[in-house]
Structure formats: structure tokens, C-alpha cells
Structure 1
Amino acid sequence: MSPVFAQSSAPSSTQSEQAADVQVTGRRNPSVGSRMREPLRDVPATVNVVTNRDIEERGTVDVVGALAWVPGVQPQLEYGGFTSMTIRGFGDYTTLVDGFRDARFQLVGSAPTGNTAGIDRIEVLKGPASALYGYGGIGGLVNFIHKQPSRRFGYEGSLSLGGPSALRRATIGVTGPLGDTLAFRADAGVVDDDNFRRARSSNANVMSALEWRPSERQRILLRASYQKVHFSTDTGLPAEQGSVPDGIPLDRRFNTPWDYLDGSFYDAQIEYSYAPIDRAKWVARLGFSHNPYEYKSAEFLSVGVDRTVNRQWFALGHEWNQVSLQLEGHWRGKILVPHRALVGYDFGYTLSHHPRFALDDTNLAPLPFGDAIDPQGDYATNKIGRRTQHQMTHGVFAHDTMQIVDGVKLAVSGRLDRWGYDTETRIYATPERPASETSVDRDAFAATFRTGIVLQPSAWLTFYGVAGTAFTPVRTVPADGSTLDPERGRQYELGARVDAFDRRVHIDLAAYNLQKTNVVVARRAGVYDQAGSQTSRGIEASVTAEPIEPLSLRIGYAYTLARYDRYASPDADFAGKTPPYVPDHSLTAWGTWRFPWGLGAGAGVRVVGDQWANVENTVPMPAYALVSGAAYYTVGHVEFALNVDNVFGAERYFVSSINGTQITPGAPRTVLFTLRIKS
């Protein structure tokens, strides 16, 4: 995110508020709530932040592990390599990387992700995000923000070993000046993991950034990155009559040695900001990304005869090319009342290519329940065509935080979006059939808003109420060629924030009602209806505290009551059912104590309530609780850390699912030793 003005019309008050937020979170105020750098207490929304400090203390090595500690967020690793999540009960969310939209998650629902090296923080905005960020984001928005260049020289690095099998990780980062006006940063990370299910994953990333300040009022930031990932895939265990059959070990993996998910990522960004006067700033940002990946894996597991598991293969390929342009104007001043205002324009273009495979003969050799040599040799995947997708978006938006009177602020956001999408599918000619080509065009126009009032009766207490909307365009094509309306989201939220004990304790409370309507429901072949709706009601609470200097605490709780109001297909009526991956209750808590002589200790617990693996609610994922512990010893610039997850060795708990027919068990006790050096 671009740095923008944080001060209000009362500089002394706001500067103290900003300092307090930095003291509690260990980082700057999150900007995801309003696209501006303003105090969190002025934002009428729930925003959670996972900092680099949190990631290091918990020994987290991937995105799923980092987000698992955010209340109301349920991340999953599916197929052994694709990351997805639910936020406030919805699988409809928006993902940003340094403020740029990652369209893959909206177009196909999930995508491969790498390690956490170079990440400064992860900001999570709960509830509809369309009023500032465009299509999607009915459940919320996640922004992955990488570390920035510094004018002060610094370095950091780490080496980690652990597992129950074999986990190896190395990271390095360096930053500093390159003259009076230049600063740089470079980060790299490598992770290789052969987990307890013998599903190997490896990824490496390199990131670089160069900041040039030709004058006090101008800033140019260049950023480039490259990432390579490999997963041997994991499609879990078959679920028969709602559970894994007796006799299948939890570490049994039914993928073939030939299965893989391979991908590479190239990103480049440039940002220019100019502040002609103290109270105004213009920001222009341009980004490009290229991401090809291929997947071939055994799927569709089912229980066969004589205690065997049947398998079929599936293959896909994606090549993503994304271009983003952002233009923003920021202003603070007084017209009748003090304002912090933002206007902007977003442009996005996505070009993607997807091979089509012949799926008429996909059977693989069955395997017994227990360990055995896999008789399946390598198998061919026959490409029979290709689909090309084009998506173009235009959005204009505005936000204004107004101080109506002392202690009362009004925050208003509005946006107009134009979305266009077309796809061409070409099937190659064969001796049995001629070539064919089909195309589809879709477009949508939508207006969204968010309006909130913030009451601050004292410096330590804030109340807010907010209403907001969101939209998600529909690409489904009915047999009659008609265009379906966008799916819509609407949320009402009431919240309170407390900054107590000289602002060393920060408490967030929120209650919300979030509904998604116009949900597309398949009635029969080629016939669709938009009669579906889903509602989520919940309460969330989080505490971030440093009550005394050696102790820091992070506690979060979410009660999420998500249900389908209407969702009837020809096979069943799912009204009253719970969407997959939505526990009614979830709790996270982590505390760290640092002794002055270099020793330290950390402990935490993560509790996930009962979930369902499928929309029919016939395959349960029972509740589980995992206890984590850590020990640290610091000497000068060097730290030794020991992290243990699942301390008590909880077994037979499940963390993800594929179509409700296959479920993936969670890891047993995991130990990680880390040597970390930091200037």
C-alpha cells in the first residue's frame, strides 16, 4: 500500500493515536480499511493484522499457517498446493499483494502460494470490500504487504530444521541506502518440506525493491519478485458414509509418484507519489504479473472392493497475465468540517490461457488401504483444446472521513465498477471430429457503498456502526445464453474499541449480519436460477496487549452462524445447512514472555469448532484444539528458537476437504529449530 497521510485536522491528538496503534501492533496503522493511512480507531470496520513479529514467534512457514490465527478466517490447503479460505462464513473474498488485486482467487477460487519470507504484515478487512476495492470481497479482503526499503542499513536471516519428517527453510534479507536519495531492499527464502503424509513441497522466492526520493515531495518505488513452487499434491483420504474407513492410516497417501503441481510467478510494480502541498498527495501505481502453473494428480478417491481405494486422474493448466493501474488523490483539510478524503481510479486487465484435457479415460490402478507399492506407471494427459479468458475492469471510487463534531466522525465510501469478461474455447480437430470454437461475453455495472459513524466519547473508547455492500459478477452461462445478475452482499456491523492502561491493551468487539443474495443455483442441465441466499451472523473479539514490558498477548474469538437461507437444486434443498469450512466457534490465543537476560517463552492454543466438509452436511470435520509452545534464547544479534505445534499430539483431526468426498488429516506433533540473526 502506498504511504498516505495519517494526521487529522488535530495533529496532536492524531499523532498520539497513531503512536498508540504502533505501540500495540508493533507496526504502522493498517491502511486496508480505507486505502489511507489513518488511525484504526477512525475506521468503522474490523481489521486484523498479522505482523512479521507474529509470524516469527509462532514459527510460521506458509500463508495458511499465518492466517489460521486470525479470528473468523478459516484457511485451507487443498489438493496439496492450492490455498483458499473462508472469511465470516463466505468463500467469496478478495486478495491483494502490496495493494494489487490477485484475480486468480476470484476467477478460480484458489491458487498456489509460497512461503512467508519478505512479508512485513498481512492485513485482513472483514466484511464487504467492494466500495473501495471493486468486485468480490463479500466476506472480506486480505492484503499481503512486503517489507519496504529503509534508509538505515540492516540485515536478517534464518535457518530452520524440523518436521515430523523433514522440513528445511532458509531466509535472508538486507536493506540500506545507496546514496543520499536511494534505498534498497532484497529478500529471499527457500522452503523444502516432506511432510508426515510424504507430500513434498518446495518453493523459493526472491524479492527486490528500490526507493528513490528525488525531493522531499516525491517518491518512486520499484519492486520486482520471482517465485518457484513445486507440490507433489495430496488429495487426502476417501470419506465413505461420512468418515474415513477403519484400516486407512492417517499418513496413507493415494497420489501417484507422477503427480505434481508446478508453477512460477513473476511480478513487477512501480509507484510514483507526489505531494505538491503538505495536505495533498497524488499516487500512481502500475503492476504486472505473470503466473503459469500446471497440475496433474490422482483425485476422485472412492472405496472399492476388498479394502481398496479407486482413483481417477485430473489435470489442469493456467497461465495468468495481469496488469493493474491505480490513480489516487489524497487530501486533508477543512471545508465546514475537517476531512481526510480520497478519490481514485482502478483499472485491471487479466488475460489467461487454460488447456483442455480429454477426460474420457481417467481411471488409475486401485490401491489397498495400507502401504503398498503403487503399480501405477506414469500416465498421459491428452490436450484436446484451449480456453482463453479476458477480463477488464474499470472502477472509480471516493472515501471521506469527516469530523462532524468533537468525538463524532462520519466515514463514507462509494464506488462505481464496470466489469467485462469474454472467453473463447477451441477444441482441436481429430480424425473423429472437426475443430470447434465457442465464445461467451459477459459484462456488469455495479454501484457499492460503505457508510459508518464513529463515536469517540473518550481517548480510550470508540463505538462504531457501519453498513456496506459488495458485488460479485457471475460468469455462468445458461443454455439460453442469458446474462445472470451479479451476486450481491450486504452487511450491518456494530463495534467497539478499547485502548486501556496507557494504550497498552487494545480490545476490538464486533457484531455483524452479512447476507449474500442472487446466489446462482443449478436447476437442471443448462438451467440456472438466482434464488439462492446465504446469511452469516456473528460476534468477533480480539485482544492485543503488552500489559508489562516482557509480556505480549494476542487473543481472538469468533462465533460464526452461517447458513443457507435458500439453496435448492434438483437433488436436494440445502436451506438451513452450514456452508463448508465454517466452524460455529473458533478461538486463538498466543502469549510471549521475554526475560531481560535473553531467555523467552511462548505458548498458544488454537481451537476450531465442528465443521462440515460438504454442502450436504453429511461429512463432519470434528472440533479440535492444538496447543503450541516456543522457547527463545537471544545473544546480541543472534536468536535460537524452538517451536512445537500440536504439543500433545492430537490425532484424527481434519483440516481440508475436496468436494466432501476426500478429507485431509492435520499434522501430528511438529518441531522446528530456528537460528535467526538480525541487525
Structure 2
Amino acid sequence: MGLAQPAPATAPPASNEPVATEIKVTGKREPTVGSRIREPLRDIPATVHVLTHRDLEERGAANVVGALSWVAGLQPQLEYGGFTTMTIRGFKEFVSLVDGVRDARFQVIGSAPTGNLAGIDRIEVLKGPASALYGYGGVGGVVNFVHKQPSRRFGYDGSLAVGGPTLMRRATAGVTGPLGEHLAFRADAGIVDDDDFRRARSSSANFAGALQWSPFARHRFVLRARHQKLHFSTDTGLPTERGSVPAEIPLDRRFNTPWDYLDGSFYDAVLEYSHNPTDRIKWTTSVAISHNPYEYKSAEALSIGPNQTVRRNWVALGHEWNQLSARVEGQWRGDLVVPHRALVGYEFSYLFSHHPRFINNSADIELAPYLDELAPVPYRDGLDPQGDYATEKIGRRTQHQVTHGVFVHDTMQLVDGVKLSASGRLDRWGYDTETVTFSAGARPASETSAHRSALAATFRAGVVLQPKDWLTFYGVAGTSFSPVRVVSADGRALDPERGRQYELGARADAFGRRLHVDVAAYNLRKTDVVVTRRQGLYEQAGSQTSRGFEVSATWDPVDRCSLRLGYAYTLARYDSYASSEGNYAGKNPPNVPDHSLTAWGSYRFPWGLGAGAGVRIVGSQWANVENTVPMPAYALASAAGYYTFGQVELALHLDNVFNARQYFVSSIYGTQLTPGVPRTVLVSLRFKS
């Protein structure tokens, strides 16, 4: 039995292969995040999870954190009330893709503001190092957000939702259809305006559009564009003292001022051309641009003051990201001694960014890293004596980053039931930065510059054994690299941080493929970790290991009934990490729970009624690298009810059904903890053609 051949370019996607995902993909194109090409997931020696649009609807997820919380072993967080970040398999380093195009912001500063999920068709998660496929970064894994595609068939969908305990307002709308004989379009819009129980507001307006032009049977052009407008009132949590939040501070007390904000916008566009000269060959070329400015001003550093008061120091920052990327790749499927599915490609990326430096007008001191103190406030609610505080730009840092990458991938069937998967990549990375300090009158008074570069080769190689149609075993080894932008104490450019993972896994189907089970065990280690020796001075003296076990299951015992389960055991530790603050060897990295579990089940009656219920369990974790501030384990139950009549569905979502209160979902250096939300209720009305 040979490797499957592609359908003609005009044929609809189809696959009879079992789908090895935590959330089964039904009637959809096979996810490509695991190998960059379309192939059955049972042939990929890696752990891949997929959340479909229907899964997001069933659980009432409207943002990235809410959606990815349902993937075991992945810990998403909202930091400072507006910046999205996450840990995967114990590492806070991941590659974020949108329709396969890298969002480089996450590799430079580790987090970024993100909007709502309007127009998202599915979210694909690849766990483990993936530099051989996607370049630098990503020792923990890859997250790919895939938008809905234009269709030649007219259709529409939309939703309206409102909820609490305070006020949540959400709306989405989408439409697709033909615009002539060879042209199709897709347009999606979404608005989210939420006020949480701590009176922290998050709002986003999102528009995504796409045009697909197929002038000839084997040629296709796709133009996608997106715009987001974001606003967050910021939330820097509750201060800790001796490892915990004082009991006298109410969980709904927010210490940010009325003038704190995170405001930004995002624009991007992608033009892609694909050509299938034969049924076995496909060429794809794409060019993408993006522009993302945002500004942030917030009472960020909190500490306990005298007489049950909280001290506050503020931070102001700004970023303007501009990215240009291009890709050329070719795919080939055929026989050369043995059957192959092969890919070869080249990627170029240029990131140009501005980062202003601010000063407090009232104090005339530079950000390093915190500015002047604000007026302290009492533990409990009261009039905030702090008025608005002005900022002034005293300098600017400019960054230029250029990356060239050449990559190859091949899946070969050596003999019946034995496949070899191999990927390799060579990246050339360059980085230049200039820092300007302004004198009076906003004229440059001084300038400094620095240059960094790296050349790195990475690989992934795995064997897939399929003794039966319903059974798969695999073993894989893969590497990653992360370039370093700082220098050592003696002025040397530091080597890239390196990652290496070994993984063994198995997949099985039973009961006529109604039950699917995935099991994986891995050992992931990062070396040459950069640590701080003292302020502004660095060295490579660290290493971190993560060992784990993961299991996921999908069971559809009868029609209209669906059960999903995911469990991850993550043992993450610093092997060596001696910085100026102390020696953390043997400590746990922050925000990495040892255990996490997600479960969801739903049933739809033939007459339109339906119900769903689930649970998310997050094990205990540490808020800081010293492991002195614990974040206790917690369990949250969710429930949903649905009633479908014709093309309309009325849904009721309950999160945190039993109203758990004393739990924390994110931290800032262990000095501040952000409490999780109490019980929430969301009522939604959805419609589709």
C-alpha cells in the first residue's frame, strides 16, 4: 500500500484516514501544522491537537486564552490584563502562526495583545520543538490559527451573546459566496466588549476578509486581509506578602488607576498563489505584511505598604511592529524507489520595530525598569487619590531582524506499515538594534548600536509503525534553536539557545473508529539558557528539562454523542540556573502545573435539544522562579445547553458552575497574582445557513 496521492486541484478535500487529534476534525481538511503538507495525522510522528470552530462554539470561547485552556499540557495566560502568552510542555517559548504565517512578536518579547476569534475556523497545536519546520523559537511547540476560507457556495453565519456576572457583550457575523465564475469571497466580523468581576475591561473589534480567484483549473490566488482594534484597561493582579495575597484584600479589588490602558491596532495582508502543474506537484508562493502599533501605561508593580495600603509603581511602553515575510515551496508526491510525500521551500522574514522609552514628567527619572511611585491606595475599595500622570518620550530603540530559511521534509513508506518522516532546516538570522536618547527639544543626544547573527541547522526525524490499520506506534527526535539578542558580560555575542526532544507515542482506534486514543511520552531539554549575572549583564549557564506523559481520547459511542478527554503530566525542572539572584537548580519553572486535565461531553437529541458538560483541572504550580509563591491547584466545571430550531441555535453556557473563588490563573514575578473569575453565565443566539 503506497502513500496517498493528492486529489486534483479542483477536488474538495477528503480523507478516510483516522484523525489523531484530541478534538476530532470532521469533514475538514487535514491539519498541516504537523508537517507543513497535507497528510493524515496518523503518519505524523508528533502530538497534534485541533480545536474546531464547533468546539469553540460549544464551550463559549471568544478569545485565545479561553480556547486554548481546553488543551491539556498547554497553559495560556493573560498577563497585565492584555498580553497573551502560554507555556507548552513546560516552556514559555512557542511559535504563533496565522494561516501558516509567523507572528514574530512572540519570539521578541514573549507575549502580545490578541483579539477575538471571529473568522477562525480551527486552532492547530503542535507540541514539541518544530524549528525544522518553522524556524527559530518554538521549543515548546507551535499554535496555528486558521481562518475560514472562501466558498463557491453562498452561506452565512453569525451570533449574538450577552452574559455576566458584570457585563459581557459579543457579536459575530460571516458571509461567503461566489463573485462570478472564478471568484469567491469570505468576510467575517466580530465585536467583544467584556467587563470582568474586577472591573477590568477588554474590547476588540475584528474584521477578516478573503478573496479566492481560480482563473484556471490548476491555478489559484488567495488574498487575505485582517484588521483588529484592541483596548484593555489593564489588570496587574493582587500583591503578595510572604508567599500569599493578604486575606484582607478582596479578590475583586483592582489596584490599577482609571487612566491605565493598553490600546493597539493590527493590520495584515497575505497574497498567496498556488499552482498544480500535475496531480503530483504543487507550487506555492506567498507574500505577507503586517503592522501592529500599541501603547501601554499601567500601575504595574504592586507591593504591600503600611496600614493596609498598596504601593504602586507605573510603567509606560510602546511598540510598533512591522513585518514582511515571503515563502516559496514545492510539494511532490510520487514513487522514487519507495513512495514519497516531499516538500522543499525557502522563507524570508524582515521585522522592523520601534520601541519608545518614556520618562515621568513629575520625577524626571528613566524607566529602569519601573518609574515613579503613584499614590498608595487602601486594601479595600475607596477613592483613588491618583490623578492622571503624564509621560514623555526620552528615547527610542529600533530593531531590524532578517531571517532566511531553507527547509525540506519527506515522508517515505519504506515497506508496508513502516514510514520514515524526516525534516531539516538551515536558518540564517541577523539582528541590528539602535538606541537613541533625546536631549531637550527631542533632538538625539546619544546613539548606540549592536549587531547579532546566528547560523543554525535543525532537524526532526521519526519512524511510524502501523502493524494494523487501527494501530500506530511512532518514535521521533527533534531539535530547535532560539537566537539570543543580548551579549555576555565580556561583550561576546551569545550562542543560540538549543532544544532537543525525544518522543514515543501510540495511536489506536476501536469500535469501528468511534473511539480514538493517543498516548505520548517525551523528554525535552533546552541548553545554553541565558541567565542574568547582574543588571544588564548575561551569561549562558542554564539548562531546563521537561519530561512528561500525555493521553487524549475521542469517543463517539452513538450518533450525536461526543466525549473528549485530555490529560498531561509535565515534570519541568531547572537542571542548572545560577543567576545574580540565586541558584535555582532543581526548581520548577513558573506557571507550569505538574498535572492538567480537560474533559468534555455533549449529546444532541433528534428534536433539537442538547447538553454539554466538562471540567478543567489545573494542578499546583509556582508563581516565581524561587518557588516561594505557590498557586494552588483548582478545578472548574462547565455546562451548556442548546436548543436548535431550523438554522438557529439558542445556547446557555455556564463556566465555573460551582463558583470556585480562591484560585489564581496568572502571576507577575511572584509579586502579584491574578484571581480567576467566579461563575459566569453567557446566553447566545447563533444562526447559519
- Same fold judged by TM-score > 0.5? yes
| 2:184 maps to amino acid | A
Q: Does the Cα contact within 8 Å between 1:24 and 1:505 map onto a contact in 2?
A: no
Q: Counterpart in 2 of 1:467?
A: 477
SS of the counterpart of 1:567?
A: strand
Q: Counterpart in 2 of 1:7?
A: 4
- Is 1:603 the counterpart of 2:609 in the alignment? no
- Is 1:104 the counterpart of 2:114 in the alignment? no
Deviation digits for residues 297-323 of structure 1, max 9, x if unmatched? 001100000000000110000000001
Q: Counterpart in 1 of 2:583?
A: 573
Greater Cα shift, 291-300 or 21-30: 21-30
Deviation digits for residues 615-672 of structure 1, max 9, x if unmatched? 0111111000000000000000000000000000001100001111011000000000
Q: How far apart are the structure 1 equivalents of 2:198 and 2:556?
A: 39
Describe how 1:225-240 pairs up with structure 2 within 5 A: 225-240=226-241
Q: How far apart are the structure 2 equivalents of 1:479 and 1:250?
A: 43
Q: Kindly state the Cα deviation for residue 181 of structure 1 after the two structures are TM-superposed.
A: 1.0
CA RMSD of superposed structures (Å): 1.8
Describe how 1:249-398 pairs up with structure 2 within 5 A: 249-358=250-359, 360=365, 362-398=372-408
Q: Does the Cα contact within 8 Å between 1:594 and 1:600 map onto a contact in 2?
A: yes
Q: Counterpart in 2 of 1:201?
A: 202
Q: Kindly state the Cα deviation for residue 6 of structure 1 after the two structures are TM-superposed.
A: 9.0
| 1:569 maps to amino acid | S
Q: How far apart are the structure 1 equivalents of 2:574 and 2:405?
A: 31
Q: Counterpart in 2 of 1:25?
A: 25
Q: How far apart are the structure 2 equivalents of 1:625 and 1:150?
A: 41
Q: Kindly state the Cα deviation for residue 525 of structure 1 after the two structures are TM-superposed.
A: 4.2
Q: How far apart are the structure 1 equivalents of 2:532 and 2:158?
A: 52
| 1:261 maps to amino acid | L
SS of the counterpart of 2:375?
A: strand
Deviation digits for residues 315-334 of structure 1, max 9, x if unmatched? 00000000110111000000
Q: How far apart are the structure 2 equivalents of 1:61 and 1:524?
A: 41
Q: Counterpart in 2 of 1:420?
A: 430
Q: Does the Cα contact within 8 Å between 1:211 and 1:219 map onto a contact in 2?
A: yes
Greater Cα shift, 503-512 or 292-301: 503-512
SS of the counterpart of 1:55?
A: helix
Q: How far apart are the structure 1 equivalents of 2:431 and 2:258?
A: 38
Q: Does the Cα contact within 8 Å between 1:6 and 1:37 map onto a contact in 2?
A: no
| 1:659 maps to amino acid | Y
Q: Kindly state the Cα deviation for residue 273 of structure 1 after the two structures are TM-superposed.
A: 0.3
Determine which of 615, 624, 630 is the counterpart of 1:620. Answer: 630
| 1:522 maps to amino acid | T
Q: Counterpart in 1 of 2:178?
A: 177
Q: Kindly state the Cα deviation for residue 30 of structure 1 after the two structures are TM-superposed.
A: 1.1
Alpha-carbon distance change, 24 to 480 in structure 1, aligned in 2, over 3 angstroms: closer
Q: Does the Cα contact within 8 Å between 2:497 and 2:529 map onto a contact in 1?
A: yes
Q: How far apart are the structure 1 equivalents of 2:172 and 2:251?
A: 31
Q: How far apart are the structure 2 equivalents of 1:68 and 1:395?
A: 32
Determine which of 485, 490, 493 is the counterpart of 1:480. Answer: 490
Q: Kindly state the Cα deviation for residue 357 of structure 1 after the two structures are TM-superposed.
A: 1.1
Q: Percent identity?
A: 71
Q: Does the Cα contact within 8 Å between 2:473 and 2:506 map onto a contact in 1?
A: yes
Q: How far apart are the structure 2 equivalents of 1:593 and 1:160?
A: 22
| 2:682 maps to amino acid | L
Q: How far apart are the structure 1 equivalents of 2:150 and 2:239?
A: 48
Determine which of 641, 662, 670 is the counterpart of 1:660. Answer: 670
Q: Does the Cα contact within 8 Å between 2:18 and 2:41 map onto a contact in 1?
A: no
Determine which of 495, 499, 512 is the counterpart of 1:502. Answer: 512
Q: Kindly state the Cα deviation for residue 179 of structure 1 after the two structures are TM-superposed.
A: 1.6
Determine which of 430, 434, 452 is the counterpart of 1:442. Answer: 452
Q: Does the Cα contact within 8 Å between 1:296 and 1:315 map onto a contact in 2?
A: yes
Q: Does the Cα contact within 8 Å between 1:556 and 1:588 map onto a contact in 2?
A: yes
Structure 2: state its 5+ residue gaps: 366-370
Q: Does the Cα contact within 8 Å between 1:20 and 1:503 map onto a contact in 2?
A: no
Describe how 1:44-193 pairs up with structure 2 within 5 A: 44-193=45-194
SS of the counterpart of 1:228?
A: strand
TM-score (norm 2): 0.96
Alpha-carbon distance change, 509 to 89 in structure 1, aligned in 2, over 3 angstroms: same
Q: Kindly state the Cα deviation for residue 17 of structure 1 after the two structures are TM-superposed.
A: 3.6
Q: Does the Cα contact within 8 Å between 1:579 and 1:614 map onto a contact in 2?
A: yes
Q: Kindly state the Cα deviation for residue 545 of structure 1 after the two structures are TM-superposed.
A: 2.3
Q: Kindly state the Cα deviation for residue 9 of structure 1 after the two structures are TM-superposed.
A: 9.0
> How many matched pairs?
673
Alpha-carbon distance change, 435 to 452 in structure 1, aligned in 2, over 3 angstroms: same
Q: Kindly state the Cα deviation for residue 245 of structure 1 after the two structures are TM-superposed.
A: 0.6
Q: How far apart are the structure 2 equivalents of 1:564 and 1:186?
A: 47
Q: Does the Cα contact within 8 Å between 1:21 and 1:28 map onto a contact in 2?
A: no
Q: How far apart are the structure 2 equivalents of 1:304 and 1:113?
A: 34
Alpha-carbon distance change, 273 to 302 in structure 1, aligned in 2, over 3 angstroms: same
Q: Kindly state the Cα deviation for residue 570 of structure 1 after the two structures are TM-superposed.
A: 2.8
Q: Does the Cα contact within 8 Å between 1:583 and 1:611 map onto a contact in 2?
A: yes
Deviation digits for residues 248-272 of structure 1, max 9, x if unmatched? 0000000000000000000100100
| 1:485 maps to amino acid | D
TM-score (norm 1): 0.97
Deviation digits for residues 127-185 of structure 1, max 9, x if unmatched? 00100100000010100111000111110010000011000000000011112211110
| 1:25 maps to amino acid | V
Q: Kindly state the Cα deviation for residue 19 of structure 1 after the two structures are TM-superposed.
A: 6.8
Alpha-carbon distance change, 677 to 10 in structure 1, aligned in 2, over 3 angstroms: closer
Q: Does the Cα contact within 8 Å between 1:18 and 1:29 map onto a contact in 2?
A: no
Q: Does the Cα contact within 8 Å between 2:15 and 2:30 map onto a contact in 1?
A: no
Q: Kindly state the Cα deviation for residue 461 of structure 1 after the two structures are TM-superposed.
A: 0.4
Structure 1: state its 5+ residue gaps: none
SS of the counterpart of 1:474?
A: coil
Q: Counterpart in 2 of 1:455?
A: 465
Deviation digits for residues 1-29 of structure 1, max 9, x if unmatched? xxxx9934999xx9764376799422321
Q: Does the Cα contact within 8 Å between 1:6 and 1:39 map onto a contact in 2?
A: no
